[in-house]
Every structure is written in C-alpha cells, then in structure tokens.
Structure 1
Amino acid sequence: MVKALFHSFMNISFLYLLVMMPNVHAADETTLDISIDKDKLYQNEILNLTVTARAEMGFVGGLMSLGGMQIDAPDFPNLEETWTILDRRQSYNMQSINGKTESLITWRYALSPKSSGSLTIPEASFKDAKSAPVSIEVIAGNRPHSDAQPPSVFLKASIDKPSPYLQEQIIYTLELYTLGEARGDMSEPQNSDFIIEPFGETSKTYKMAYNQRYEVYERRYLLFPQKSGALSLAGPEFTGTVVDS
C-alpha cells in the first residue's frame, strides 16, 4: 500500500515539472523589421509604417507574456520631431512548430510628415533587437487628384447665394467625402461679420466623385451677413483619421 502511494506521488510530481518547465524558457532571439507602404509621398499624404518583432519562446511563458497584456512599443528616438503620429495599433499571434513557439508582434502607425524634403524613420529598438533607419522623400504641396489617384478623404463647401443682400439668409453646406470609416469632426464656420446658426442634423449619403462611390457626411448652416462688401470664410478642416481597407 505504501509502495503504491509512493509511485503515484512520483508520477504526479513528474507531470507537474513537465508543465512548469516551459515557464522558465526565455526568448532565444528577437528580430525587428520595418516596412512602409511608400518611399515617396506628398506633404498631405499619410505614411503607413509597420514594425514587426519576432521571437522564439516557451509556450506557457509566451502566453504569460502576451495574453491580454499591452506590450511596450518599440522605441523610436526623435520620430515625432519630423512626423505626427495620427494612429497606432498593436496585434500579436503565436505559432508552435516542432516544440518551438514563435511570437509575432506587429505595430502599425499612420504618420503625417511635418515638412517636405528628405525625412527619416529613425532606428527603432525593441528589447535586444534594432531596425535600420528608413529614408523617405516628401514632396511639398498636395498630390493632384484624378480618377487614377482618388483622394481617400476631402472636404467640399458651398453656398446657395454668391451675392446676397445685407442680412439676407445664406445656406452654407459642408460635405466630408470619404472612402473609408471616418473618425473625427469637421470645423464649424466662424466669422464675426456673419450671424451663424446650425441648420438641421448631420446627414449621411453616397455620391460619386473621381469615378468612386464616396460616403458623404453633410452639415448645413444658416449665414446672415452683417456687413456689406466682400466677405469670406476660412477653408473648412477635418481633424481625425480615415480607416480604409
């Protein structure tokens, strides 16, 4: 009876060690790679930057490191001196082959250049791995739009009366055209020479432009000029991001 209990205890202990050993299996090697969707862009365009880290680690240890936790992003020294980070996202997955588990961590950035000329994505570092810097040419001005290169998002403003009388009502229409999911807001017209009032709710419709079918968000305002002569409104702005396929 004592002998049988002893064997059972030994078997249980052996299984316990088998389960716990991978917990102390550390990462063998980490690599860090950078890719960009273009190496030349206009100043009004967005650069999509992808950073990928690969590492081999024990199965249980990998789950403990990644499961449900936000992993520190790579270190990009001086990146925001020349680029504005509009959006950043993180994802990861794991794959086990022949007892080795590879973890793949991906960070995606949407960047807007702060100036034109030759800009650089600086060297990134993550744990013991580093990437090479990447050079990008930024062309001053806006990319000309055409059916072959439709804009992913643009604004359009119009009025129903180009030559109104003093204090006569004008309907000002602001439209946001987007090919993807828009997250943000449009600016409101401002000018002390007008009384400006919102007119109705923001509506959504679909329109064709540049041979593309756009989602269009329309917002209207009532304007009442309080001064005669040539009056103007500042160009509208959209602040936010557009997520496309």
Structure 2
Amino acid sequence: MTHRLGYVALLLILLSANSLAATGLSARLDRDRISEGETVQLILEAPGQVAGRPDTAPLEKTFDVLGISSGSRIQIINGKTDARTTWTLTLSPKQPGKLTIPPLRIGNRESQELLLEVTDAPVADSTSGADILIESELSPQQPYVQGQVLYNLRLLHAVPIQSGTLSDPKPDNTLVQRLGEERNYSTLRHGRRYQVIERRYALFPQKSGTLKLAPPLFDGEVPDKRQPGRSPFGRLFGQDPFFNSSPLDNLITPTRRVRIRGTARELQIQPRPGNARGSHWLPARQLQLHGSWSPDANQAQVGEPITLELELQAEGLTAGQLPDLTPAAVAGFDLYPDQAQRHTDTGSTGVTGRLRQKIAFLPKQPGKLSLPAIQLHWWDTTADQPRLATLPGREVVVTGAAPQPIQTPAVPALDSPRTPQAPAVTTGQAIQPGITPLESGNRWLWLSTLLASGWLVTLLLWWRQSRRTRADRPATEPASPPRAGTARRRFQSACQNGDPVAAQRALLDWAAAHWPEDPPRGLEALARRLSDPAACAALEELNRALYRERTGWNGTSLATALQQLPKPSRGGDNRPRVLPPLYPRSSS
C-alpha cells in the first residue's frame, strides 16, 4: 500500500510538471533600447523539456534573424526538480524607431509582445571612436552618363574581426567593375589605430538623373567584451574555483554578431551635352589616337596594299565603349579591315580601354589618290570641353595599270551548225592537209569546257552532300555548363570588352546553367524566353554583330538589359520569334 501511494504521488508530480510546461512561453530582451546597427538578444524560456524551435516568420518584416541557439537546464532545489528550456535569438533591426516584437509560437505555446526602441546610429566619422567604421568616397560628384565614377569603400576596425562580409555596390542602371584586389593597411583616426580593408570600384551609370547608392553594410562577428571567456572544464564542472582559474579561459573568446551600415550616397548624372559632336559619345579623362603606315612612302603600285595600324587609348572608358575606326568608303581604294583587338586595363585611377586595328587600303586605279584623315570626337571630363583626336591623311601617287576585267570567249551552241571558215594563212605557217588551225583550236576549247563543266558538277554535288550530312548529323551533347555566377561574370566582362563572340558563348553558358533541363540552343531561342523588349533588341544587335564586318560592337546596352535571367517556367515557350533566323529557308 505504501508503494502504491508513492507511485501515485510521483505520477501527480509529473502531471503537474506537464501542466505547468503547457502554461506558456516567456520572452525578454537583454536591452530594450539600442542604436541602429547594433544587435539585440531575444530570450525565450519555457518550463520543462521542450523540443522544437520558435517560428521566426513574424519577425522577418522588421528584423534580420542572425542566429538561434537553444539550451536546457535541470536544477534540484530542496528535493524539487526544476527543468527549463531556453532559446536565444540574435536580432538586427532593419530600421530605426519604436519596433514591436510580435508574439512567437513554439508548438502550442505563445510568448508575449515586447517593445524595442532603436535610435538613429551616430555618424561613424573619424572622431566617433567607434570600434568599426565604414567610409566611402565618390569622384566626380556630377559625372556624365556612361562616364566613369570612382567609388572607394573602406572598412576600418580597431577590434579583431573573426568573420564577416562587406556588401558590394549594386545601383540600378549602372555597370560596376571591381578595380584590382583588396588593399590592407593601417591608419590613425583621432589618435586610435585602425586596420583598413579598402575596395575600389568603377561605376558606369547608363541613365541620366539621380543615382542612389544604398548604404554599404558590414555583417560579421567580433569578440564580445561583455562575456568573459570560459574553458570547457568550467562548463562541465560548474562554478568550481579550480576550473574557473584555468589558464584555458583566455583561449576561448566568445563572439557577438555586429551589423554596421555606412552612409547612403546620391549622384546627379548629367546627360550628354548639347555641344558634343560626333556619332559616338566618349566621356574620358584622356584619349590618344596613334597610327602608322606601311609602307611609309608616298608612292604605291596598283594592287599592292597600304596598311594603316591604329591604336586608340582612352582613360575612363572600357574597351567595349571604343568605336570601330574603319572609314565608310575611300575613292580609289578597296578596304580590308582586320577585326579590332580590345583590352581593358584597371589601375588606381580607374579603367583604361585600348583598341588596336589594322586596315588595308588596296589601290585599284593609278593616279594621285588621297588617304583620308581619321577623326574621333570625344568629351574631356577633366576640362569639361569637347575634343577632337585626329590622325592626318596623306597623298599617294599610284602607278601601274588598272586591272582589266577577265573576258570569257563566247562558246557556240552544240546544236548550231558550223560553217567552215577559210583559214587565214600567214607567211611561214605550216598547214596540215585536212585540218585547219581554227578547227584544232575549237577541239581544245570544247575539251576544256567539258572537263571544267564536269569538275563543277562534281564540286556542286559534293557540296550539297556535305551540307546535307551536317544538317542530318545529331548535335553533340554540350559539356557540363559552368556555374551560373561564373558564366554571368564572363558575359559581363565580354560585354565591357566589346567581344561579341565571347559574349555569345558566355551568355549561352549562363542560360544553360540557368535552364539545365531545357537550355536554349542559340540567341534566337534565348530571345523567345525574354519579355523585355530592350533585352530582345540588344540580343538582335549582338546577333548582327556576329555576322557582319567592319562594324564595332558596344555591349553596354546588352549587359544593362540582361542583369538577370527570368525564372524558369514549367510551361512551354510560345512567345513569338524576336530574332530573324540565321539561315532562312526559301519557300517552295
């Protein structure tokens, strides 16, 4: 009987503990007033041993949840067991003001509502003495559209950073190019030593008007001075004097999450000035045009080429922004330009675009001919004035006879009757009996014509068969596409360098990684999946650049229009064709 009463008492204790565990969930903040950029800890506690995690969806509108940790403890006091479960949430407010922390649920438990006041963060200038500072610089303050803007971003920290990330600028309608690697050095601010991480960027705004740059954001972990270090022995054996004085305490330093925001920036982007001349808009700090002729002489022969080697260099412009320099037409010459070679250099002062191109001028008639001057209008952003870069022309005396067109002798029809002609006899010419010279020549002419016709027919049949074989051959499976991020960066770089072939290849690789189940097989198929008319027009321009000559390609519009690819759709692609087919079939 005594044992039964003991079992009943124990059962009642357990039931009371379970009922107490189901009563609720308490919540508290470690601080109820913080500054913008600081984090706060929300501690949830429930009686008993409780499994599960809190639902943080109600917090996501106002807070960033940086981390969640949980723990439990059991205490026995005067023979009574007290078990509790705690959850610690590290929160970073998204905005200043009086914010409400809504009730959170764990199973059937719900916490109470809390209030948190977030004040505006003080300006983290060089005199603030803060542990972490973010500084940024922009130059110039009023740039021109498509002109270069230098953006320097510095993270200064007086405390060690265990880990963290610093956001990159991502303004709308702007091409961003990183300049080199990060620079690390130390500096003094208000008598305090800081370690500096500096990044440099070149921004190319594509639209005039107000350009807004979001505040840079640092999210990381730093040592927590508010919590002393503890060795593992202290956590295992409690508050024992021996283990609390362990030398291992200093080896384990607790950390805390920090989020630091810099200052938002705005720029007024100026449009192209009204007095800017030329068909190309080239805002640059410096532009140089050089050229050399080969042969470097004032005389030439008909049919012998005169080669002009051009070199264009522009500070503050990418190679993709530099135009093709081939003249439209030159009287007395046929033009044969090579494909321009483009390269973009990066340095401390920004980007420098370089273009090299060779143009062969082939004289086709004798006389005194003029080779034209090469002129290029550009805008000096330092002096804010229009400039003209000129390569002088030259006069060339061309000798030799103009090439005569090849005349094919008329061949009489096979069915037409041939009237014998009396041979023209000259002195000393031997005449064989029964065969005239005209008949002998016609025999060789007919034989050569028949042989040439048979050779042409054979060549035509071979060409048609090889084309049919290529058309019927199944396409080989492409190699495994690269990651979307890598292909996208290659595409952006090719657009900036003005390389249409590399841009097409990288774009299709990007699309294959984006749509691995059904990758587009060409630009035409990719255009059908885009709903943006500007992107489709830029793709059509790329398509034309791949199959035309003597015309440069500027990839800035395509890179701006294709910042992201649309999300994959399960349905079929029924959008109309945007690009014309590369090989149109004639209707029969």
Normalised to the residue count of structure 1, the TM-score between the two structures is 0.56
Structure-to-structure mapping, 1:118-197, within 5 angstroms: 118-127=98-107, 129-139=109-119, 141-145=120-124, 150-151=129-130, 153-158=132-137, 172-178=151-157, 179=159, 180-188=161-169, 197=177
* Code of the aligned partner of 1:186: S
**2:173 & 2:126 partners in 1: Cα distance?**
39
Distance verdict in 2 for CA 1:127–1:206, change over 3 Å: farther
**2:196 & 2:202 partners in 1: Cα distance?**
20
CA distances 1:133-185 after superposition (whole Å, capped 9, x unpaired): 2223344x433447996545442123688899xx9998643212345445333
After TM superposition, give the deviation of residue 102 of structure 1 in Å. Answer: 2.5
After TM superposition, give the deviation of residue 119 of structure 1 in Å. Answer: 2.5
Q: Note the aligned Cα RMSD (angstroms).
A: 4.7
1:3 aligned residue: none
1:186/1:236 contact within 8 Å kept:
no
1:146/1:210 contact within 8 Å kept:
no
Structure-to-structure mapping, 1:62-101, within 5 angstroms: 71-73=52-54, 75=55, 78-81=58-61, 83-95=62-74, 97=76, 100=81
Distance verdict in 2 for CA 1:159–1:126, change over 3 Å: closer
Normalised to the residue count of structure 2, the TM-score between the two structures is 0.27
Whose helix proportion is higher, 1 or 2?
2
1:16 aligned residue: none
**1:46 & 1:123 partners in 2: Cα distance?**
22
* Code of the aligned partner of 2:29: I
1:197/1:222 contact within 8 Å kept:
yes
1:155/1:175 contact within 8 Å kept:
yes
Larger Rg: 1 or 2?
2
Task: Kindly indicate whether residue 221 of structure 2 is the aligned counterpart of residue 243 of structure 1.
Answer: yes
**1:156 & 1:130 partners in 2: Cα distance?**
43
**1:36 & 1:207 partners in 2: Cα distance?**
37
Distance verdict in 2 for CA 1:146–1:32, change over 3 Å: farther
1:52 aligned residue: 44
Distance verdict in 2 for CA 1:238–1:184, change over 3 Å: farther
The more displaced of 120-129 and 147-156 is 147-156
After TM superposition, give the deviation of residue 202 of structure 1 in Å. Answer: 1.9
2:196 aligned residue: 216
Distance verdict in 2 for CA 1:135–1:189, change over 3 Å: closer
Instruction: Tell me the SS of whatever aligns to 1:109.
Output: strand
1:155/1:236 contact within 8 Å kept:
no
Taking only the aligned residue pairs, the percentage that are identical comes to 18
1:11 aligned residue: none
After TM superposition, give the deviation of residue 218 of structure 1 in Å. Answer: 1.4
* Code of the aligned partner of 2:63: T
Q: Number of aligned residue pairs: give it.
A: 202
Q: Which runs of 5+ in 1 are unaligned?
A: 1-24, 58-64
* Code of the aligned partner of 1:108: L
1:105 aligned residue: 86
After TM superposition, give the deviation of residue 208 of structure 1 in Å. Answer: 4.3
Distance verdict in 2 for CA 1:189–1:137, change over 3 Å: closer
**1:211 & 1:133 partners in 2: Cα distance?**
44
**1:101 & 1:76 partners in 2: Cα distance?**
27
**1:173 & 1:184 partners in 2: Cα distance?**
16
2:58/2:104 contact within 8 Å kept:
no
Bigger RCO of structures 1 and 2 (CA < 8 A, at least 6 apart): 1
CA distances 1:110-142 after superposition (whole Å, capped 9, x unpaired): 1314453x3322233434544332223344x43
Q: Which runs of 5+ in 2 are unaligned?
A: 1-13, 225-588
Distance verdict in 2 for CA 1:189–1:89, change over 3 Å: closer
2:156/2:195 contact within 8 Å kept:
yes
CA distances 1:54-95 after superposition (whole Å, capped 9, x unpaired): 4335xxxxxxx76xxxx321x4674344x1224122131444
**1:135 & 1:223 partners in 2: Cα distance?**
41
| Equivalent position to 2:27, from 28, 34, 52 | 34
1:5 aligned residue: none
After TM superposition, give the deviation of residue 41 of structure 1 in Å. Answer: 3.8
**2:203 & 2:108 partners in 1: Cα distance?**
60
